[in-house]
Chains A and B, each alone.
Chain A
Amino acid sequence: MKCYIGIDLGSTTTKAVLMDAGMEVLGQGITNSRSNYETAAAVAKQEAHIGARLTLFRRGLGDAVTGKNANELMEDLELNIRLEQFLEQLEDLRATCASHIRNGQAGVLEALTEVFERINAEAPGMFQRGARRRSDFFRDIAGSRVMHIGEEVAKTAGVSFETLLNLYDKSIIDVENRPPEGDMAAKYRRALHRVVESDPHLKVDEATAQDAMSKAVALELEETYVVGTGYGRVTLPFPKEHIRSEILCHGLGAHMMYPETRTVLDIGGQDTKAIQVDPQGIVENFQMNDRCAAGCGRYLGYIADEMNMGLHELGPMAMKATKSVRINSTCTVFAGAELRDRLALGEKREDILAGLHRAIILRAMSIISRSGGVTDEFTFTGGVANNEAAVKELRKLIHENYGDITININPASIYTGALGAAAFARRAVENGAGETAP
């Protein structure tokens, strides 16, 4: 079947969306951008393919499984495939680490093997429904487990933790840039088998399911047209007509999610953009933050570092505020000083954080104002859209300044750019391949 792929090469994450001819999203994938956009794009695309196979499998399964059971089945299946991928990469990491052991490092191989055996053993637990993972990226999971387990093992085995860590550091980049390439069809089959077997209450007939899976896996997903966007777009060997700016992709992506969208705000790690789109999703005007990074996601990153907190903990803490401390400068350079100054004055952390969230949203409001203000409907995307404190301030300020406006925030908003890119890919073919415009 014909497929249209959009890839958004962001500065921190790379996203891919795979779409069918009817402009329905079959699958989406995300990975960390690392320093290698080519691999990042390949990994994101592979993830999107997995999503697509699962969607096709679900379609093929039809009414054989329904309701809650179906949802659980799909969720478990996805987790199991992730587990398969994780284990394959983990084995690669182990082998690579082992290859770096120098002669004469007694006991290191044994310790290493022990570490990886333990991670192997706990892996299924990490990929269970409801389990909390720090991240879905291999590097993050493997890294944190090697750190944790490595320290214990080193202690008991009497080898230096440093040595183990060194092996990991030497290997991780290579491994990360060597995405799993084992036989996918077998992985789908194994995963499905494991799910059916471990969850008898789902009442799935394995033969029927495996049959649907085989068909889904056998279907050829033709890469009819690929469009790239995002910061890394120019580093990919894409012909020029396959590249769209993230502004255009974001506008169209937001339009795809919410067709009534007229104003889009995206607050990402590196920049903030306000985009005005027409009823067809065509960009009419856009403004981005200027040279100054004040008010971008990165600002929150600095604050988190300064407070020794995780980025995702900032919003919840700010929500506990009883008042909002006025922050006059969102200058990223002065973020630390501003913060310490308020703390020194005896202000509470949550109240300061509430003020900081307000300050970055105020910056965004200015950029929106620059682009022409807010017209119903308003769609908010980007990493900061997941931050409830930021969203709260935004709702308040939009209401105060522009009145009763519908505000859309999609949980999958991180895929907005890739979605727009996929839609551009579809439109390009519609208008005759090679056309540069929709």
Chain B
Amino acid sequence: MNKLFTIIGLSLGLCVAAATQAREVTITTTLNTYRGNAAYLAIYLTNPDGKYKQTLWVAGKKSKYYKHLLDWARGSGLKTAEYEGMTGASVSGGDSLTIKADIDDALIDAGYLIRVDSAVEDKRENRIDAEVTLTTSGAGTPVSGRGYVNTLSYSL
């Protein structure tokens, strides 16, 4: 009997754990070839209304330029805690950036969006250069961007 409870308890525990489990999502952003310096990119998650939820990655090392990643900057409030440990080098034209991010399972197939804001020195700043809804069925299907982003895709 005791044994049975233990098993049930463990199973329940596992179920609860599964319910709040984070999934590793691989996101690939490929840039167009364009003339100019390397691009700063902010890759982030928004709720179905487009409200900022969490930062997934910021490409570009000088935080003083982050304000040019317009919507992300607005959503994150540019608070260091929002992007700490999630930054890397800026991305040159024609190059691809692949990142892995942990996203709460509950946000998949829930209308949440992956968005990319982009900026290049002396060139236009793009809010929502590309966006894609995070769904199980949409994984692996690239969407095209409007600015420096050529394609944005993710795999679960």
Tell whether A pairs with B: no
